[in-house]
Amino acid sequence: MSSFSTTQWALGALAAWLIGVSKTGLPGAGMLVVPLMALVFEQREGVGATLLLLLAADVFAVAWYRQHARWDTLRALAPWVGIGIVLGAAALWLIGEDAKGRDQVNRVIGALVLIMLSLSLINQKLGNFLQPRSTLGIALTGSTAGFATTVSNAAGPILTIYLSALHLPKFAFIGTTAWFFLIFNAAKVPVYAALTALDPSRALFTTRGFVFDLVLLPAILLGALAGRWLLPRVSQTLFNGAALSLAALAALRLLVG
């Protein structure tokens, strides 16, 4: 508890609140969480701490929007996400930090997100020139999302772009996102635990992180309630535009470190 400064607690509380909002109202808001948590924790400890906060918020999202999920979309993505998780675990094990202690994989994720944003804009201009239902599109989305969520909990922009391209209504968007992250965030827990056990010097799960998360649970609840209030009051156009804009900002933040 005492190892965190007042500023770190404030940043953590904002991140937890944004996680709640993103899970129940505005998915794009969660894309700011990765850079915020990077300011609270050094190196990989923050990745594990963020995962547990995300799981807590996922429970609220599924409880409220479980009936709106598009299971056909989830089933199509699932095997590719599994492949991405395996690749992401390998990356966490093999890829180190640069001279300033920043994970190099974050820059890869940022570049991939910006590429997908560019493809999304091209798709809007050319009218479904890039089909999100194609085998290649599904494979690219699923594997990239699995990789990104494993290495830094940063799959939000990728899934946002993909679901936006499918033109899902906002409640179906939230419901599908809720189940996606509850399932695959839960799948990452044993992966992170194994990596922590194999190399405690680069631990993803720590006692300090657990305590931090427990203290911030009320902020997640407040954010989840705010997001649930916000969703019916935001137009579909504003919802899509805000989600994609925040995805771009998050990608740029990952690139510059």
**Distances 211 to 50, 51, 190, 225 between C-alpha atoms, Å:** 12, 14, 19, 23
- What per-residue confidence (pLDDT) applies to 143? 93
* pLDDT tens sequence across 10-41: 989 999 998 988 888 776 677 678 777 877 88
| CA–CA separation, 226 and 219 (whole Å) | 11
Domain spans in the chain, listed from the N-terminal domain onward: 6-256
pTM of the model as a whole:
0.80
Burial class of 213 by CB neighbour count within 10 A (0 to 12, 13 to 18, 19+): buried
Quick check: 123 pLDDT over 70? no
The pair of structure tokens assigned to 31 is 């894309």
Tell me the per-residue pLDDT of 36-91, one tens digit each, with 9 for 90 and over.
Answer: 787 788 667 888 999 999 999 999 889 988 888 899 999 999 999 999 999 999 98
**Of residues 188, 141, 136, the one with CA closest to residue 160:** 141
- Structure-model confidence comparison of residues 73 and 101, the more confident one: 73
